[in-house]
């Protein structure tokens, strides 16, 4: 079983990367507790050049894209048939996901056009806002919409839409215990649902 975490912030090693790391750490702990062999990989979009989709339709001919940017290097990783789950983490920008997250989701259309490669993969989302209630749920719902287009199996954290953290917590994002709990709960749910699906 392989779980992919996507950090869709333009900033490296900041609050979004931290929240995703908390989630993936719980994925590992839950998998180990359930004696599930797991491979976890983080894809950090910070520093990568990923253009928006230009609807060139090149991907209708296979797992390829006409644009010569960094998304091309991600295609083989995301085409791995061992992937059981994908978690996308985004900061909240202007009430929604980052441009990096949007470009990534739009470009992922090539996996849909080539046999719905993400169908039945578990999908979860994390959002990091500038305040406690800073657009996290709307951002998560927007990410979920893209996942639904892929016919993914969408999960929350067991109580909410997904992980909702506060990036500008007065004591620093690492002190946001409430938000960290939601991120870790999302990771735990990923393994719970994956384990249930393995039975069928």
Average pLDDT over residues 160-187: 95
Average pLDDT over residues 30-59: 96
User: What average pLDDT does the chain have?
Assistant: 96
- Summarised one tens digit per residue, pLDDT across range 4-29 is 999 999 999 999 999 999 999 999 99
For 2-198, CATH gives 3.40.50.360
Q: Are strands 153-154 and 122-129 parallel, antiparallel or unpaired?
A: parallel
Half-sphere exposure of 70 (CA within 13 A, CB side): 11
| Bridge partners of residue 6, in order along the sequence | 43, 88
Confidence band (pLDDT; 50, 70, 90) for 98?
very high
Average pLDDT over residues 118-137: 96
Q: What is the DSSP letter of 176?
A: -
Domain chopping of the chain, boundaries: 2-198
pLDDT value for 198: 81
pLDDT value for 200: 60
Q: How far apart are CA 87 and CA 20, in angstroms?
A: 8
Q: How far apart are CA 73 and CA 94, in angstroms?
A: 29
* pTM confidence score: 0.97
- Summarised one tens digit per residue, pLDDT across range 144-171 is 999 999 999 999 999 999 999 999 999 9
Residue 174 pLDDT > 80, yes or no?
yes
């Amino acid at each position: 079983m392989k779980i992919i975490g996507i950090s869709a912030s333009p900033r490296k090693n900041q609050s979004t990367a931290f929240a995703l790391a908390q989630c993936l750490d719980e994925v590992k702990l839950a998998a180990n507790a359930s004696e599930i062999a797991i491979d976890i990989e983080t894809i950090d979009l910070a520093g990568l050049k990923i253009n928006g989709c230009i609807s060139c339709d090149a991907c209708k001919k296979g797992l390829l894209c006409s644009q010569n940017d960094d998304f091309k290097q991600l295609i083989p990783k995301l085409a791995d048939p061992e992937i059981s789950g994908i978690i996308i983490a985004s900061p909240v920008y202007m009430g929604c996901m980052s441009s990096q997250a949007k470009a990534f989701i739009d470009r992922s259309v090539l996996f849909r056009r080539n046999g719905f490669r993400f169908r039945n993969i578990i999908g979860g989302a994390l959002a990091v806002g500038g305040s406690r209630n800073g657009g996290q749920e709307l951002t998560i719902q927007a990410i979920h919409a893209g996942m639904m287009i892929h016919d993914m199996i969408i999960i929350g954290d067991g109580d909410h839409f997904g992980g909702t953290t506060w990036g500008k917590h007065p004591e620093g994002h690492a002190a946001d215990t409430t938000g960290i709990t939601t991120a870790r709960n999302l990771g735990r749910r990923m393994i719970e649902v994956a384990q249930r699906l393995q039975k069928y």
